[in-house]
Amino acid sequence: MRKNGKRILAMLLAAVMTASLAGCGKGGETASGTAGNDNGGQEAAGQDEVVTLKMFIRNQSKYTGLQEDPVAKYIEEKLGIRIELTVDSSLGNTTAQTSTFNELLATKLASNDLDDIMDFGSPSGNPEILNNLNRAVEAGMIIPLDDLVAEYTENLSTDPRLTIRNDYRREHMYNDGKFYSVGGWGGMGLDQLPGAANWVRWDLYKEMGYPDVETDEDYLEMLKEMQDSYPETPGGEKVYAIGGAFADPQGMGDGFVNRDYPLSKGYEPLEGNYAVYLNHATKQVEAPLQDPDSFFWNGVKLYYKANQMGILDPGAVTMSSAEYTEKINKGAYLSAVNGWQVMNKEAILDGLGMKDAGYMPMRPLEDVVSLSVYWESVVGGNEFAITSKCKYPEKAIQFLDWCMSEEGSRMITQGAEGMAYTMDGDVPSVTQQYLDDNAGGTVDMAETYGKWKYAGINAFQHIDVDSNGYYIQPEQIPNVDNYSAVKKDALSFYGTESFTDYFTQYKNRAGEKLPNVIWSTYTSGIGSKPDDIKQKYAQINEYMYKQIFKMIYAKDDAEYEALQNEAMEKVGELGVDDVVKWYQDRFAQLHTDLDPLIDQAMKAYGVE
């Protein structure tokens, strides 16, 4: 939210709370001034009646009002519900758009201008969302869902993957033992390839004979040899082993060091903080800044050594992320530890004269503690509520129940069945017309097929696996026959029929199976921090953002070590121990509260 958005929302909601409670009470007077019935003015729709539900939800529609895409038409035919959007894609998913959406939500709540279904957003990393939901409950703006779910739903009431989400909300989000929202966009997303890993130009790696790389030092030496053998692209572009976009602001430019490298080893900064990381193997908080040999300092050292060796692009220090991406798309870099930046570039490289070229992840290095294969979000993220002004709450919950189903999630992420995909028994497959239209780039896939138009309100992510073992979004289902040359070669090198099988069952050189889940439910539950802790970690982050780049560009080892010692001393002065203790104490409580529920969820998803 923009600068004062959160404070404004809290003040506005508090200001209208008393009036809202009076206006929404059972048997009292409604907002229109008519006497409310025993259902608070709500009506029961006839079995064959088509009703219109107004929805304030993020979407990819080009227009507000009644929606005419194939998914909306299917919902109308199946459920007797017409979708009327009160916002369009201009309030979408970018940071700026999310801020605008949240401010409009604040205005609507403050003025009691409620649609039938409201999207409150995700509390993950934004505890104010949870505060907003509870204020809305206290003000009588949103209604409890327990009885509606029990009476009118097929999925939310019986699917253990979804009942767990309801239990989480009863026990951990609301204060009266009821739940008032359903959680969309969650599950156990399954990547076929670990995005956080050592990705390299596989065609060149193959030419080198697939050298066995166990340590960062081995990795740098291999990249140096690769760069020496391949100094420029066919178009004359200078090639570097490693790039960066260090000129971007804090939280982005430093992400190569404080986020991407640690995640490639199995550690993730908690809420972006340098001081505390989640070890995804142990699910415990680690404090790397005062350990000179920690994974964090190893990452800084890797970039320092790369610069000393002449394999870090000298332009990285002044480069933005857009410029960095442009150079990737020119084939100017040979590696990345953030694989999402370089994956699936085969067609682009081929167009530049680099036939059968592309990036693939190497076998994990020896200090990797966990792989980024499963993305856990078993309690869901985005919060959707039915308001007290909704005339047809039973229809609203049926709509949400369909969105929470595998069928609903599939249509929302892929498009309408029969157009975007077909079902052969339990097996989904995309249609040729869909593939042609998607590849052509001229068809509006959201309006023509319904693809992604309502994404976020679905329960399961596109990379979740359904009850029969197939991806929710059928286009994610691998087809080895269509693999590029580098993908086929990597599959052969790994000696497996499936990347998913290889990385979910991966054992390190000692024969130990590596954990492979990136946990988000714990981080989602962190909540509000004391002001003194926020002040301390903000100062640490600001200091470290500047210090790491001084270290990367140190003139020699002596200067590098002096700067590291200086940093370790300074963060101590800034209160790193207090920050670490707060997060460790908070995670101890989160484990007590959430471990039983998460263990249940993992069984429901069939993940070891």
Question: Which tokens is 124 given?
Answer: 């993950």
pLDDT at position 23, please? 37
The CA distance from 525 to 530, in Å, is 15
The CA distance from 396 to 502, in Å, is 43
pLDDT band at 44 (very low <50, low <70, confident <90, very high): low
Q: What are the pLDDT digits (tens) for 505-557?
A: 999 999 999 999 999 999 989 988 999 999 999 999 999 999 999 999 999 99
- Model pTM greater than 0.75? yes
Strands 196-201 and 187-190: unpaired
Looking at this protein, which amino acid is placed at residue 211? P
Give the side-chain half-sphere CA count within 13 A for 506.
28
Q: What are the pLDDT digits (tens) for 306-333?
A: 999 999 999 999 999 999 999 999 999 9
Average pLDDT over residues 131-143: 96
pLDDT band at 98 (very low <50, low <70, confident <90, very high): low
The CA distance from 399 to 382, in Å, is 16
Return the percentage of the chain with pLDDT > 70, whole number.
Answer: 91
Looking at this protein, which amino acid is placed at residue 333? Y
Average pLDDT over residues 71-97: 85
The CA distance from 579 to 544, in Å, is 15
Higher pLDDT, 6 or 545: 545
Contacts of 546 (CB under 8 A, 6+ apart): none
Q: Are 594 and 525 in contact (CB under 8 A)?
A: yes
pLDDT at position 451, please? 97
Orientation of helix 557-573 relative to helix 295-309, angle to 10°? 150
Higher pLDDT, 360 or 23: 360
Q: What are the pLDDT digits (tens) for 396-453?
A: 999 999 999 999 999 999 999 999 999 999 999 999 999 999 999 999 999 999 999 9
Three-class SS of 58-106: CCCCCCCEECCCHHHHHHHHHHCEEEEECCCHHHCCCHHHHHHHHHHHH
Return the percentage of the chain with pLDDT > 90, whole number.
Answer: 87
Question: In this structure, how many other beta carbons lie within 10 angstroms of the beta carbon of residue 202?
Answer: 24
Please work out, in degrees rounded to the nearest 5, the angle formed at the alpha carbon of residue 227 by the alpha carbons of 226 and 233: 110
Q: What are the pLDDT digits (tens) for 223-246?
A: 999 999 999 999 999 999 999 999
The answer, yes or no, to whether residue 47 has pLDDT greater than 90, is: no
Question: Which tokens is 370 given?
Answer: 């966990």
Q: Are 309 and 224 in contact (CB under 8 A)?
A: yes
pLDDT at position 91, please? 63
Do 5-16+46-184+381-424 and 196-374+484-603 have matching folds? yes
Does residue 460 sit in helix, strand or coil? strand
pLDDT at position 31, please? 32
Q: What CA–CA distances, in Å, run from 94 to 59, 269, 387, 598?
A: 12, 22, 26, 30
Q: Are 154 and 401 in contact (CB under 8 A)?
A: yes
| Superfamily, domain 5-16+46-184+381-424 | Periplasmic binding protein-like II (3.40.190.10)
Q: What CA–CA distances, in Å, run from 64 to 331, 482, 490?
A: 41, 39, 46
The CA distance from 374 to 112, in Å, is 40
Contacts of 574 (CB under 8 A, 6+ apart): 536, 539, 540, 543
The CA distance from 547 to 323, in Å, is 23
Q: What CA–CA distances, in Å, run from 511 to 116, 373, 578?
A: 55, 19, 38
Maximum distance among all Cα pairs of the chain, rounded to whole angstroms: 81
The CA distance from 224 to 109, in Å, is 58
Contacts of 468 (CB under 8 A, 6+ apart): 426, 427
pLDDT at position 11, please? 43
DSSP string for residues in 437-497:
HHHHS-S-HHHHT-TTTTTTSSSB-TT-B-TTS-BSSGGGS--GGG--HHHHHHHHHHT-S
Average pLDDT over residues 557-584: 98
Mean pLDDT (the chain) is: 92
Question: Which tokens is 450 given?
Answer: 């319904």
By CB neighbour count within 10 A (0-12 exposed, 13-18 middle, 19+ buried), where does 425 fall? exposed
pLDDT band at 102 (very low <50, low <70, confident <90, very high): confident
pLDDT band at 48 (very low <50, low <70, confident <90, very high): confident
pLDDT at position 46, please? 63
For 196-374+484-603, CATH gives 3.40.190.10
Higher pLDDT, 481 or 30: 481
Q: What CA–CA distances, in Å, run from 497 to 429, 461, 478, 531?
A: 20, 24, 11, 52
Least confident segment among 38-42, 154-158, 408-412: 38-42
- Point out which residues pair with 424 in neighbouring strands: 427
pLDDT at position 42, please? 66
The CA distance from 401 to 182, in Å, is 9
Please work out, in degrees rounded to the nearest 5, the angle formed at the alpha carbon of residue 220 by the alpha carbons of 215 and 226: 125
Closest CA to 398 of 175, 114, 50, 81: 81
User: b/e for 503-517, b at 16 or more Cβ within 10 A?
Assistant: bbebebeeeeebbbb
Three-class SS of 337-400: EEHHHCCCCHHHHHHCCCCCCCEEECCCCCCCCCCCCEEEECCCCEEEEEECCCCCHHHHHHHH
Does residue 10 sit in helix, strand or coil? helix
By CB neighbour count within 10 A (0-12 exposed, 13-18 middle, 19+ buried), where does 24 fall? buried
Looking at this protein, which amino acid is placed at residue 186? G
Average pLDDT over residues 367-395: 97
Question: Which tokens is 20 given?
Answer: 């809202």
pLDDT at position 1, please? 36
The CA distance from 139 to 548, in Å, is 48
Q: What are the pLDDT digits (tens) for 249-286?
A: 999 999 999 999 999 999 999 999 999 999 999 999 99
By CB neighbour count within 10 A (0-12 exposed, 13-18 middle, 19+ buried), where does 234 fall? exposed
Q: What are the pLDDT digits (tens) for 158-198?
A: 999 999 999 999 999 999 999 999 999 999 999 999 999 99
pLDDT band at 125 (very low <50, low <70, confident <90, very high): confident
Question: Which tokens is 581 given?
Answer: 């203790």
- The structural domains of the chain, with segments of one domain joined by +, span 5-16+46-184+381-424, 196-374+484-603
